[in-house]
A and B are shown apart, each in its own frame.
Chain A
């Protein structure tokens, strides 16, 4: 379970970083950056997570890029979720009222400044709910690392089941474990949502 928590937290931190960079790339005036961002999102979103993981763990060592299974898991989970985060952020950016941008431009802020000081802070608030559901999705998706024999919650459950041949209690317990992780983070997201809500 500790492994699952680590995967979820580190993976989500990476996903937020990747997502922000890609979202900024996709609304930037620089066409090649937009293209690269779109390419990244469309490719990653349309490939199964398990395939990306296998690619990282088994195929990349062939070209000399070697990571432990755990690190590969974080990179893949972070990159994969990052693509979805960037889409959420982009729609958040588009939901910020146009007047905000005009005002920022009018007082002389540049593109990056406008985004950093005016648009992104407001966009981040509106995308708290979708980001929350992405965090939950990532927590659940982290189970795929069990397929490359990382001993996370799902992996341990499968191992214990092999030893005890008691599928029902074992997997029910593991399911409870995931519920224990997702329910509090779901609640926390709800609280955060109210906390950051813009009071009008």
Chain B
């Protein structure tokens, strides 16, 4: 359904919509004005509260926090993808104990709040002589343990969504289980789960900020918080700037992801159309070609 259908109408309704638009715009401006007035009344726009942000060391400090966030998130993403792939393969494995073990892991870790995992890793590791691990790795371990389970489910859904004929065709041309998986099934599954994958990775990036509870890993949220500790008058401003930085990074990422997704979907479609007219064998070759894009 196109959204326009809900109000695709004649001149009278169009006039009503225009009136409503003006009213809504006025209301929004009013709302914004009230908010601004409130902030101004409490002196939140006073220059000295924002003066901090004209100094380059403050920006170096905050950008350093962003760097730490990104570094932790990126490390966790790569490792979580590996763990997720292993878990997904485990859950569709032909061996029952493997299926059970990975299934239990996924169900348990998916259901536990990430914050609880961070607490747990932080409090439990010192008891096993791993207290020397830097906070960075505590965060990464918790993120990987949790997101591995979530990504595992995404991967599994992607693999199972693929038509069985793909795998059967791969067997028919003499590929082994692992060859069929790596050359035919997984490349196509990855394309299908790309949207879910990307949105989970953005969630992971946001979740990295939970690390501030450790109080010793300097990611962006903690540094934004610290602004308020260093200069109490700029507390609100510190949070505001940190939030802005998160929004900018995440918006850029999701835009980028959407473009990537569209491009790959187009390429995927043209590839399958080209193979579709030919023999099954050629379709497998199409799959194999997708497996080695670079």
Contacts and interface: CB of A to CB of B under 8 A. Distances in A.
Bound together = yes
Interface in B212-251: 212-213, 221, 224-225, 228, 235-236, 239-240, 242-243, 246-247, 250-251
Contact of B24 (A33, A95, A136): A33
Interface in B1-53: 1-3, 5-9, 17, 20-21, 24-25, 28, 38-39, 41-42, 44
Given A140-B114, A146-B115, A63 B224 contact: no
B127 interface: yes
A140 B239 CA distance: 24
Interface stretch (A11-19, A168-176, A188-196): A168-176
A28 B108 CA distance: 41
B1 A94 contact: yes
Contacts of A21: none
A171 B5 contact: no
Given A29-B7, A62-B236, A95 B1 contact: yes
A94 B3 contact: yes
B261 to A, nearest CB: 16
B15 to A, nearest CB: 12
Given A58-B239, A63-B42, A30 B20 contact: yes
Range class of the A interface residue count: 35 or more
Contact of A140 (B108, B111, B250): B111
Interface of A: 27-33, 36, 42-43, 45-52, 54-55, 58-59, 62-64, 93-98, 100-102, 105, 111, 114-115, 119, 136, 140-144, 146-147, 154, 157-158, 161, 167-168, 171, 174-175, 178-179, 182-183
Interface of B: 1-3, 5-9, 17, 20-21, 24-25, 28, 38-39, 41-42, 44, 108, 111-116, 119-120, 123-124, 127, 202, 206-210, 212-213, 221, 224-225, 228, 235-236, 239-240, 242-243, 246-247, 250-251, 254
